[in-house]
Structure 1
Amino acid sequence: MQYKLLGRSGLKVSELCLGTMGFGTEGGWGADKETSMAIMDEFANAGGNFIDTANIYKFGTSEKIIGEYINNHDRDYFVLASKYTLRDGEQFTNPNAAGNSRKNMMRSVEQSLKRLNTEFLDVFYLHIWDDITPIDEVLRGLDDLVRQGKINYIAISDTPAWVVSKGNTLAELMGWSQFVALQVEYSLLQRTPERELIPMAKHFGMTVTPWAPLAGGALTGKYLRGEQGRIKPQSNRLDENSERITRVVMAIADELSVSPAHVALKWTMQQGFSCTPIVGATKVDQLKDNLKTIDVTLTEDHMKRLDEASAIKLGFPGDFFKEDGVKLSVFGGFYDKVEKRK
């Protein structure tokens, strides 16, 4: 396992992040405690140190299992990331038990620390934008937690690019902690973050940590093989276009004698920007297979075929700036075509 810096920080994280949304059996699916422990053992033995969870995952069971594990191992080896926003526990009558507010932030982080049985979180994400709380309230609260030593770094997930941009700019001006990572859905079947979110992350030097990089297992080809899974049949992850893209992934996997999952994951890692995909697992064998991704390299031809098969329209202004390989600039009240500088 190789290590890379998380955003514009000195924090070293493994090139794959372990997703633990399935740690626990609530809801009729997931890994029991014994299996979850074995998965973390496998990850750590491979050199993995970056673990992703959230207060809502399995109603807090995920954090409890991780807490028990890390307290029987070297806590300082692990880079532990959790999240707040969504309702956790039995908070059904509390109107402030969800959302991005400072009140819910402080409540949530304290509960997460208790479940994880740790004094600090390495990375703390805002889980999803609530479109209510002012971004300055969020940034000031997160910075206070950093100053209190309860979290080391801040990050953000599932939030519009303009909100993140405003937040990081405000944080820079005020001397507050800035977001070092951006967690969004990103895969060969979901490339819409390339319109605004990923260019924004590149500009601010943030690491992208894609969730569902295998599109819920669709990119492994298991649904084309007739295997069962948790994706609903009417999902766009299983439509005609998605099947076409998946077949390209499977063809390249055959050429390299690797699994389709390796190809799909490696595609996210070879995009030319800092990207650490989150690989979830509810079985040890699933993780073992995903870990083999680090030994795979896609050629320029492979990347080109995958890019072309999964290409999306950037829309305005992305496509506008790429029109005919030129930029449009205003001179004297009219548009002149000028050569695009490399």
Structure 2
Amino acid sequence: MRILFLGAGAIGGYFGGRLVQAAAAEEVGFLVRPGRKTQLDRDGLVIESPRAGDFRMPVRTIAAADAAPGWDIVVLTCKAYDLDDAIAAIRPAVDAGTAVLPLLNGMTHLATLDAAFGPGQVLGGLAAIQAVLDGRGVVRHLGSPPSLKFGERDGSLSGRVLALKAAFDQTTIVAEASTDIAGAMWAKLVFLHTVAAATVLMRANVREIAANPGGAAWLARLLDRNAAIAAAEGHPVPAKALEGFHGFFRGAPPSEASMARDLESGGRIEADHILGYLLDAARRHGLPDDMHEAAWLHAKAYETRRAAGRLPAG
């Protein structure tokens, strides 16, 4: 199996790097920008992980001008706001035999990718990993063991999905070939939106929110409303998973969404793709939307202020 990753950052670099380390695929390539290509060609791909061990190895890098077809899987790990640029970058590498596996948050990217490549070529997928690309260009893995879920959106277990799972099974990554990938993506979105909406709106982490009167109950209420939206969309969160989510919030860890960190640092955020998407879904099904509207408006006001150059300096 030949697998191409768009980018070699925290997500693509980690998952692709572990495939390279295990020699688990016929070929693994990284389609990267010129600066990252120069760095990787000089230093190799470097991963630091207290759980799975450190890794440094030369990898195949590909410049945009050299992208060509022949790949079995192309993995996308970009932010939703970069999706159009990502599609343009991978288009020369996608032919009729290529499956596109997006590991983006939310659901909105699926329609965009379907329009670009056709529904039959677009898999569903999600990643669970805590990692960053630091200033040295090193992929630093933090937290729990990374995992992947992916699958055909019609629920079938195709040869390409099973082959991809077999490749990842040779690594330390827990990979699941799902027969209900849409349900899995909705379950993640329920949890992700709860963390993102809460930490963006409150400008605090989960522990700091829960420490205040009514904070824990507010988090639980938002989670239940998100679960109700998923159920209305035809993808109810399994009871065991939902209880696990509630347990997470009852434990009140010092966690915050990457969207909150991006907002605090003055970066771009996925306001419409995550917060706006569930707001629209709540309204579509006539469900309470006040909490969702407040979080989305807060994020959109930030985007407007950022565009006007009115963020605090430094």
- TM-score with structure 2 setting the length: 0.32
Compare relative contact order (CA 8 Å, sep 6+) and give the higher one, 1 or 2: 1
Return the structure number with greater helix share: 2
TM-score norm. by structure 1 comes to 0.30
